[in-house]
Amino acid sequence: MAITVFDIAAEVIRHNGGQSVSTVKLQKLCFFAFGWYAHLTGESLFPESFYAMKKGPVVGELLSAHAGKTEVGMEPLAEQMDERDSALVALDPYVARVVSGVWDFYGGLSPWELVEKTHSEDVWQQSWEARPVGSQRGAMSHSDIIGYFLARTMRPDEHIELPPSAVSFLSDEDLRQIEQQSQPCWAFVDAVKSMTSV
């Protein structure tokens, strides 16, 4: 069964001892879980849509689940799954390690510290600045978030314990070095170039 944002949110709440979490904090932790999972795999962690809003990235479906609330616990998540004729799923160990790493690093921060952290991410800044005139939200596509986090490295103040990466990232310099070798596999070089130019 496919993972949803509600499964990730439920795991965050479990890391908080089963206690409710600030809605702002929960949204930002789901964003960082999605981003760091993308960094490691090049894939979407869940299918729900992101938006750039004034307080940073927000998952629309999760926002609907906690509309009008300042904190969210397990009950609204379970209600959302019931409405979808589904149930929360147990995360596979790899995904659980990503969420755990995100919680261990970001979980002790206040909601407003997390807002500031997400505001420092270029992918949010670009989406927020590109929103339609007068709009309170801008679209943040999965491909934009994935591309951004694939190229993102941890900053000196970030010590996030994540599982091993499932993808390798080659820089333009790496590709040039491959090309300069005496007998490179041109099919491989061309295939990598076509993937990096997307």
Same domain, 111 and 143: yes
Beta-bridge partners for 77: none
Confidence of residue 87 (pLDDT cuts 50, 70, 90): confident
**Cα dihedral sign for 40, 41, 47, 50?**
positive
Beta-bridge partners for 76: none
Residue 198 domain-assigned (yes or no): yes
Same domain, 28 and 108: yes
Residue 158 domain-assigned (yes or no): no
Number of folded domains that form the chain = 2
The CA distance from 91 to 60, in Å, is 21
Class of residue 153 by CB neighbours under 10 A (exposed 0-12, middle 13-18, buried 19+): exposed
Exposure string of 57-78, with b = 16+ CB inside 10 Å and e = fewer, is bbbebbbebbeeeeebbbebbe
Q: Tell me the pLDDT tens digit for each residue of 6-28.
A: 999 999 999 999 999 999 999 99
Q: Tell me the pLDDT tens digit for each residue of 44-79.
A: 999 999 999 999 999 999 998 888 899 999 998 888
Q: Is 141 left (phi over 0), alpha (psi -120 to 50) or beta?
A: beta
Residue 156 domain-assigned (yes or no): no
Residue 159 domain-assigned (yes or no): no
Question: Domain range spanning residue 187?
Answer: 168-198
Q: Tell me the pLDDT tens digit for each residue of 96-146.
A: 999 999 999 999 999 999 999 999 999 999 999 999 999 999 999 999 999
Residues contacting residue 65 through CB under 8 Å, at least 6 positions apart = 6, 72, 76, 77, 79, 80
Same domain, 68 and 120: yes
The CA distance from 101 to 108, in Å, is 12
Q: Helix 142-151 and helix 23-41: axis angle, to 10°?
A: 70
